[in-house]
Amino acid sequence: MKLTAKIFIAGLMLTSLACKDGYIDDIETVSPGPDETAPVVNIIFPEEGPLTWVPNEVMSINIDFEVTDDIEIQDIVVSMDGTNIGSFSDFKDYRRTAMKLPYDNVTNGAHTLTITANDLSGKSTTSTVNFEKPENYVPQYDGEIFYMPFNDEYLELVSVSDATVVGQPGFAGQAASGSNAYKGATDSYLTFPSAGLTNSEFSASFWYKVNAAPNRAGILVMGPPDAANPDNPNNRTAGFRLFREAAGSNQRIKLNVGNGGGENWFDGGAAADINPSSADWVHIAFTISSTECAVYINGNVVSQGTYSGISWEGCDILSIGSGAPRFVEWGHLSDNSFLDELHIFDKALTQQEVQAILDNELP
């Protein structure tokens, strides 16, 4: 014990001598230098232009901004439409601060956000963003004519109209993008009138989480009535039918399109298979032009071929989540799968456009 104590005391003496001999630098005050520049104010959100449309007349946002200064920030003042909504003068880092300020009174129409930052030497910077809460949904993509985000409602935003609900579909409690996707149920689906959707070119894009039960189902269908078989219709001479069928343990996505005198099939084989045991959302898109049709899964072409152009004769109903009421003969009825972010376009999307939508909405 005595030996240990002696070694410890000797160690302390050596440490003390080392400090005195300059082995550890003394702490020196460094001048911050002259204050040469004004603060920099960077407003991250909202951006210039329209916000994403929501059906509520008043919405909440988080104002996201950053302020930096070469020496020291003195204070920051945030105002909305000329009214002060926040003032700040206490910062953990006096040269840089990043903030998110909640604001719950964004009404329909145009707004001006102004953020002013002052530094200790009296220099001031003001940054302004002019944005808008649109009264109606503003299409986000070229050619977009129909959009259902499925956020706890069956509302189509471009026309601001509700779907006709058949049976008792529900919501998934999860979403690919947003808050709550569509959840299919037995003998349940949604319909819309086809007015405005039956154009010479057509595309659809959506996210999908497949449920293998039942082993086949309709997903999106816009077809004509079947005079020859009204109780069990399967008229494929016009419109389109996007559906799934079992392929071993997988589910295969298929597209059938009517050309007026007959039909064309776009079946990608194994490339169009989805594994139901996967917990991943899958992005599906298909395009119809006057010369070609294509089916995409996760941005990749899984089926593509030449085509003479679609006929819309008698196609007055769009079905979502089932083949019913126009495509039921082979058992392509209601789909118990999840579906989210449904967009329809009056143009044939390119693969680059399909990929851009996928990237923008990626879960």
- Host H or E run for residue 33: none
Name residue, tokens 């077809």.
223
Sign of the C-alpha dihedral computed for residues 145, 162, 283 and 360 taken in this order: positive
Residue 329 has pLDDT above 80, yes or no: yes
Per-chain mean pLDDT for the chain: 91
Q: Which residues contact 118 (CB under 8 A, 6 or more apart)?
A: 39, 73, 74, 75, 76, 124
With 0-12 / 13-18 / 19 or more C-beta atoms within 10 angstroms meaning exposed / middle / buried, residue 219 is buried
Choosing among 2.30.30.90, 3.40.50.1010, 2.60.120.200, 3.30.9.30, the CATH entry for 144-361 is 2.60.120.200
Share of the chain above pLDDT 70, in %: 91
What is the per-residue pLDDT across 161-184, written as a single tens digit (0 to 9) for each?
Answer: 999 999 999 999 999 988 899 999
Calpha distance 193→245 (Å, rounded)? 26
In this structure, of 54-58, 76-80, 147-151, 322-326, the range with the lowest mean pLDDT score is 54-58
Residue 72 has pLDDT above 60, yes or no: yes
Confidence of residue 136 (pLDDT cuts 50, 70, 90): confident
Residue 11 confidence (pLDDT) above 70: no
- The CA distance from 362 to 349, in Å, is 18
- Residue 12: is its pLDDT beyond 50? no
Q: What class is the 40-133 domain?
A: mainly beta
317-320 and 189-193: which strand pairing? antiparallel
pLDDT band at 5 (very low <50, low <70, confident <90, very high): very low
CA-closest candidate to residue 86, choices 72, 98, 76:
76
Mean pLDDT of 297-324: 97
Q: Is 321 exposed, middle or buried (0-12, 13-18, 19+ CB in 10 A)?
A: buried
CA 286/CA 204 separation, integer angstroms? 6
Q: What does each C-alpha distance from 295 to 165, 234, 306, 358 come to in angstroms?
A: 27, 21, 12, 14
Model confidence pTM above 0.85: no
Rounded to an integer, what is the distance from CA 177 to the centroid of its chain? Answer: 4
User: Domains of the chain: which residue ranges?
Assistant: 40-133, 144-361
